[in-house]
Amino acid sequence: MRRPSLARFQRRLWPALLAALLAAVAFLWATPFLWTLVASFRPEGAGSAGMASLLPDTPQTLENFRNAFESGSFGLYYANTLIVVVGVLAVQCVTVSLAGYAFARLSFPGRDMLFYAFLLQLMLVPPALIVPNLRTVVDLGLYDTLPGVMAPYFASAFGTFLMRQTFLALPRDFEEAAAIDGAPWWAIIWYVLLPMAKPGLVAFAIVSVTAHWNEFLWPLMVINDPAKHTLTIGLAAFTRGAEGGKEWGVLAAGTLLVMAPLAVVFVAFQRRFVDSFVFSGVKG
């Protein structure tokens, strides 16, 4: 009589232990974010000795956010980052749709070779080529401009590949009907294919926006004028500034400001984000 109940106890114990362990690891994983949340609402008077505490203080304050906005001109950084992210995405949507269509639907000499030439960008990722690309940007007269930050990303091998796959999965009937009715190629892409390819475009948009919202090294090299700094450059300067002082709450608030928009969108569209990122592994 005893043994079966012991076995049952064990059968229940192990999953419970595993769940507890998992919860502990998850808590550890979330600790940096928990600290950011707690510290960014912590009043300055709390003193730097208890700054690392994960327990929220009772009088919460928005003072740190106000300081971050004032001393770091985060409003400006938001605007610049938005310009870069939207500008890159807008041009990319055009280039990848056209190229994706050509690779998916047209046959022409040199197609395979050109396709592999595109895929080369997945290996020679832009960060590896910052030195020559900076010189190219200077030659083009785009140094210290936001278009200079965007230009290397206007062509996207990942986007082209993704749109090609999306187009290949679509039935041909609609476009053939449109072609028989005499619709030109651009009308077929714009009115027939793109509306059906929306999931592909959305997946690409998620990956592209995340990548360029988070980008740092390249804008750091191209931009000199503080009025054109993006969020990541602003945050890095901010971190260096906070080094000496007791401004940890302000730094936490600044970090939160940089992360928040993507985090909110992620929580709203979690499923789509995850799917897009799994596909984006192709991007490298």
Distance separating alpha carbons of residues 46 and 60, to the nearest angstrom:
11
Least distance from C-beta 121 to another protein, angstroms? 5
Q: Which of residues 259-278 bind another protein (CB under 8 A)?
A: 259, 262-263, 266-267, 270, 273-274, 277-278
Single out the residue of 61, 73, 95, 145 in contact with another protein (rule: CB under 8 A): 95
Instruction: State the burial class of residue 130 (Cβ atoms within 10 Å of its Cβ: 0-12, 13-18, 19+).
Output: middle
Instruction: State the burial class of residue 71 (Cβ atoms within 10 Å of its Cβ: 0-12, 13-18, 19+).
Output: middle
- The one segment of 2-10, 65-73, 108-116, 194-202 that binds another protein by CB under 8 A: 108-116
Q: Which of residues 34-63 bind another protein (CB under 8 A)?
A: 35-36, 48-49, 51-54
Q: Which of residues 151-180 bind another protein (CB under 8 A)?
A: 151-152, 154-157, 160, 165, 168, 172, 175-176, 179-180
**Contact between 204 and another protein (CB under 8 A)?**
no
Choose between 47 and 75: whose C-beta lies nearer to another protein: 47
Distance separating alpha carbons of residues 201 and 194, to the nearest angstrom:
8
Closest by CA position to 172, among listed 154, 143, 192, 157: 192
Choose between 1 and 113: whose C-beta lies nearer to another protein: 113
Residue 40 contacts residue 55 (beta carbons within 8 Å): no
Distance separating alpha carbons of residues 186 and 98, to the nearest angstrom:
9
Long-range contacts of 90-94 (CB under 8 A, 24+ apart): 91/150, 91/154, 92/153, 92/154, 92/155, 92/156, 92/159, 92/204, 92/208, 93/201, 93/204, 93/205
**Contact between 115 and another protein (CB under 8 A)?**
yes
Residue 74 contacts residue 254 (beta carbons within 8 Å): yes
Distance separating alpha carbons of residues 39 and 81, to the nearest angstrom:
25
Tokens representing residue 46 in the block: 């709390």
Encoded one letter per residue, x for contact with another protein by CB under 8 A and - for no contact, window 75-94 reads -------------------x
Least distance from C-beta 243 to another protein, angstroms? 8
Choose between 2 and 11: whose C-beta lies nearer to another protein: 11
Count of residues engaged in binding another protein, rule: CB under 8 A: 108
Q: Which of residues 1-30 bind another protein (CB under 8 A)?
A: 18-19, 22-23, 26, 29-30
**Contact between 222 and another protein (CB under 8 A)?**
no
Q: Which of residues 119-138 bind another protein (CB under 8 A)?
A: 120-136
Least distance from C-beta 1 to another protein, angstroms? 27
- The one segment of 57-65, 71-79, 82-90, 246-254 that binds another protein by CB under 8 A: 246-254
> Residue 220 half-sphere exposure, CB side, CA atoms within 13 Å?
13
